[in-house]
Amino acid sequence: MTIARLRRRDIWIALGLAGFSLALALMVVLPLGWEFARAGEFQLFLTPAAIGYLAQLILALLIAGYLAYRAVAARQRNAPTLLLLGVFAAVVGVVLLFFLDAALPPSPRLYAVYLENTVIGLLLTLLTQFAYRFPRLYPQHKWEARLALAINLGYTLWEAGFALQRGGRLLQDHVVLYRPGDPDYVLAACFAWMPLAFLRQTIAAAQDLTGLGNLSGLYHLWRPPGPAAQATRAFALIFLIPLALSPDFCRHLS
């Protein structure tokens, strides 16, 4: 089996397992939404927060549609393009749940709240794998990328299982289960992994271009040579800003 096939297999495993966890969680919310609609309890309140999320949802749909066009019509089906398409598809799911959280009445909005962390875990899974495969997967990072995949998928599957449990208890017994705070540390660690992965990709891309050894790694972070190293460092700097805000974000989700 060639290296290219191994890479494609890892990508499809990541997409398949993450999609399975999302579909598993959606099995709760879709029948419930149908029941609320039949009972006449499905209402949307376009609050300022909901309108803001709606605008973000439209933007995310446009970006995801453009990437889908590039992947299908333009035949750009390399690993970074497919993973970036999956990232924005997950962004659509996250923003949609935030919109429903802000627009639905108090009782139905709980089902959207229960699914938020599952879809965020899916987003982090795809985004971390994109970090390790942009501009390409370097051999020295292969097992590190697989370890990150295992940790992210483990967190996502746990959130999906807990979402099913919370939805079932709310539907059958009308009991609201609160999410414990400890998984927020895992969520913050998974998010912190992304800029670290991009910085390591910056060093690998610079060393691949210049042929210099490990001693030049810090210098390459300061002045990355070539467009690939510059792009990965730019991604790392972008994610350092929300990383500084992640404690407040995690407290909001819990």
Q: Is the pLDDT of residue 254 over 80?
A: no
Dihedral-angle region of residue 218 (phi above 0 means left; psi in -120 to 50 means alpha; beta otherwise): alpha
Contact 90, 119 (CB under 8 A): yes
Q: How far apart are CA 61 and CA 39, in angstroms?
A: 30
What pLDDT score does 227 carry? Answer: 83
Whole-number Cα distances in Å, 135 to 75, 159, 235: 18, 30, 12
What pLDDT score does 126 carry? Answer: 92
Contact 180, 44 (CB under 8 A): no
Dihedral-angle region of residue 81 (phi above 0 means left; psi in -120 to 50 means alpha; beta otherwise): alpha
Mean of the pLDDT values across residues 39-68? 80
Mean of the pLDDT values across residues 54-76? 80
pLDDT in tens, 175-199: 787 877 788 888 888 888 888 899 8
- The overall average pLDDT reported for the chain is 77
Q: How many CA atoms, within 13 angstroms, populate the side-chain half-sphere of residue 213?
A: 1
Contact 142, 3 (CB under 8 A): no
Q: How far apart are CA 122 and CA 132, in angstroms?
A: 16
Q: Is the pLDDT of residue 7 over 60?
A: no
Which among 113, 129, 120 is positioned nearest to 193, based on CA atoms? 129
Instruction: Using pLDDT thresholds of 50, 70 and 90, give the confidence band for residue 246.
Output: low
Percent of the chain whose pLDDT exceeds 70: 73
Model pTM score: 0.76
